[in-house]
């Protein structure tokens, strides 16, 4: 990691223990864009303060409270003494599978963890950024932006095009 430039170091913050790409998280996007209305919305939904909602990604020093308090995957990896869940003899464990099944944006976490291990973290970050970017304007969208949040193009990214039904069903609840 010694040769990394600032952009790469920032991007490393977007690597999560669970396989999610934090660059496509609504809380991350709202924090980076200083979108106070959105941050307040997430704070209310998650029942935590505005400041505790702010997040620079799972591997950063400023992490949204609900992820830092509720996520057990980082501790679990330490206990199991593995760098990646894919190195664990329980992978993909029950906890990961349950986490995956609860919300559509988590639908590919097992594949994502496998991919992270296969191609390495830096390439995985590049691949994820592309996966969640609008094909027309390159804006990174979250899994819940059905249309691109900048130019309105549908689908907002490759991930959304593959999970459109599950996402729309979830949003209509
Ligand atoms: S809130 Fe959680 S998923 Fe979202 S960017 Fe922060 S650590 Fe990642
Ligand atoms: S795969 Fe192993 S290290 Fe990862 S969360 Fe499951 S039990 Fe923990
Ligand atoms: Zn766009």
Residue-wise pLDDT for 40-51, tens only, equals: 999 999 999 999
Tokens of 54: 């702010």
Residue 7: the pLDDT is 67
Confidence of residue 70 (pLDDT cuts 50, 70, 90): confident
Q: How far apart are CA 82 and CA 97, in angstroms?
A: 18
34 CA from centroid of ligand 2 (Å): 34
Choice between 168 and 3, residue whose per-residue pLDDT is larger: 168
Please tell me the distance from the alpha carbon of residue 159 to that of residue 91, in angstroms, as a whole number. Answer: 23
- Ligand 1 atom closest to Cα of residue 67: 2
Q: Is pLDDT above 70 for 20? A: yes
Assign 34 to helix, strand or coil: coil
Nearest ligand to the CA of 106 is 1
Atom index in ligand 2 nearest the CA of residue 93 equals 6
Instruction: Give the E-state strand segments of the chain in sequence order.
Output: none
Q: Supply the pLDDT for residue 10.
A: 65
pLDDT, average across residues 28-34: 97
Which residue's CA is minimally distant from atom 6 of ligand 1? Answer: 57
Determine if ligand 2 sits within 6 Å of the CB of residue 117.
no
Confidence class for position 19, pLDDT limits 50, 70, 90: very high
Report angle CA 83, 29, 23 to the nearest 5 degrees.
Answer: 30
* Tens-place pLDDT, residues 85-105: 999 999 999 999 999 999 999
Q: Cβ distance 136 to 151 under 8 Å?
A: yes
Q: pLDDT band at 114, cuts 50/70/90?
A: very high
Q: Report whether pLDDT(1) > 60.
A: no
Dist. CA 111–CA 127, nearest whole Å:
13
64 lines ligand 1 (CB under 6 A): yes
Nearest atom, ligand 1, residue 26 CA: 4
Residue positions counted in the chain: 173
- The residue ranges of every structural domain in the chain are 6-131
- Residue 2 reports pLDDT greater than 90: no
pLDDT at 113 exceeding the cut of 90: yes
Interatomic CA distance for residues 72 and 24, integer angstroms: 21
Share of the chain above pLDDT 70, in %: 94
Ligand 1 pocket residue status of 39, Cβ below 6 Å: no
């Amino acid at each position: 990691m010694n040769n990394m430039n600032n952009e790469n170091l920032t991007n490393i913050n977007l690597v999560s223990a669970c396989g999610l790409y934090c660059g496509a998280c609504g809380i991350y996007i709202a924090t980076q864009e200083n979108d106070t209305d959105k941050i307040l919305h997430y704070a209310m939904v998650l029942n935590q303060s505005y400041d505790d909602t702010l997040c620079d990604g799972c591997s950063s020093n400023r992490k949204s409270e609900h992820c830092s308090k509720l996520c057990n995957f980082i501790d679990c990896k330490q206990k199991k003494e593995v760098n990646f869940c894919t190195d664990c003899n329980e992978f993909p464990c029950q906890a990961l599978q349950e986490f995956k099944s609860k919300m559509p944006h988590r639908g590919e976490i097992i594949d994502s963890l496998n991919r992270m291990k296969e191609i390495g973290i830096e390439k995985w970050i590049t691949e994820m950024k592309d996966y969640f970017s609008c094909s027309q304007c390159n804006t990174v969208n979250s899994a819940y932006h059905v249309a691109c949040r900048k130019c309105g193009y549908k689908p907002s990214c490759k991930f959304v095009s593959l999970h459109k039904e599950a996402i729309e069903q979830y949003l209509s609840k």
